[in-house]
């Protein structure tokens, strides 16, 4: 029973993170898949990092979401490519290490590791969902109201 409960809690954290990153995933899916393939296969992580940074800076504060240390691409005959980006989120004593999966018609993510700290710096598990939501909300940029210059 405990195992099943922890899986459902992890799924809830992934849902919360996924909802916050939906726009980032859409932005990343505008990049040519051949660029992802070339950069990942040739180890050009600086180029990949630039793509992730430019896709996240529209929606999140600088440095709160960044490329992690592992990325991969799945290429098989007769199957569209799948890009797996290792990513990190750090804000307000919340650290989440996750992978974002980009496919031709959808995107998803999975949390690999998450740490939430209290004021004393020790890891806590109570109120994790609230801390995660709060950290994501603070990291997310607020859209600027559109004003016409012709009024």
Q: Which of 2, 24, 17 shows the shortest CA–CA distance to 111?
A: 17
Given pLDDT bands bounded at 50, 70 and 90, which one contains residue 128?
confident
Three-class SS string for 23-70?
Answer: HHHHHHCCCCHHHHHHHHHCCCHHHHHHHHHHHHCCCECCCCEEEEEE
Helix (H, G, I), strand (E, B) or coil at 123: strand
- How confident is the model at residue 1, as a pLDDT? 35
136: pLDDT strictly greater than 70: yes
> What is the pTM assigned to this prediction?
0.81
8: pLDDT strictly greater than 50: yes
For 106-123, the pLDDT digits (tens) are 999 999 998 887 766 555
- How confident is the model at residue 115, as a pLDDT? 86
39: pLDDT strictly greater than 50: yes
Placement of tokens 């916050």 in the chain: 20
DSSP-derived letter for residue 91 is E
- How confident is the model at residue 2, as a pLDDT? 40
Residue 36 · residue 48 · CB < 8 Å: yes
Ordered by start, the domain boundaries in the chain are 2-139
Q: Which of 80, 83, 79 shows the shortest CA–CA distance to 39?
A: 83
């Amino acid at each position: 029973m405990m195992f099943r409960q922890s899986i459902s809690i992890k799924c809830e954290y992934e849902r919360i993170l996924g909802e916050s990153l939906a726009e980032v995933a859409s932005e990343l899916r505008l990049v040519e898949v051949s660029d992802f393939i070339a950069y990942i296969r040739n180890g050009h992580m600086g180029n990949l990092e630039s793509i992730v940074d430019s896709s996240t800076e529209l929606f999140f504060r600088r440095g709160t979401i960044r490329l992690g240390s592992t990325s991969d691409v799945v290429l098989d005959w007769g199957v569209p490519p799948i890009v797996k980006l290792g990513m990190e989120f750090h804000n307000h004593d919340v650290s989440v290490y996750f992978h974002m999966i980009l496919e031709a018609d959808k995107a998803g993510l999975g949390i690999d590791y998450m740490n939430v700290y209290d004021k004393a710096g020790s890891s806590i598990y109570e109120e994790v969902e609230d801390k995660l939501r709060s950290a994501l909300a603070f990291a997310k940029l607020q859209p600027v109201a559109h004003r016409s210059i012709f009024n």
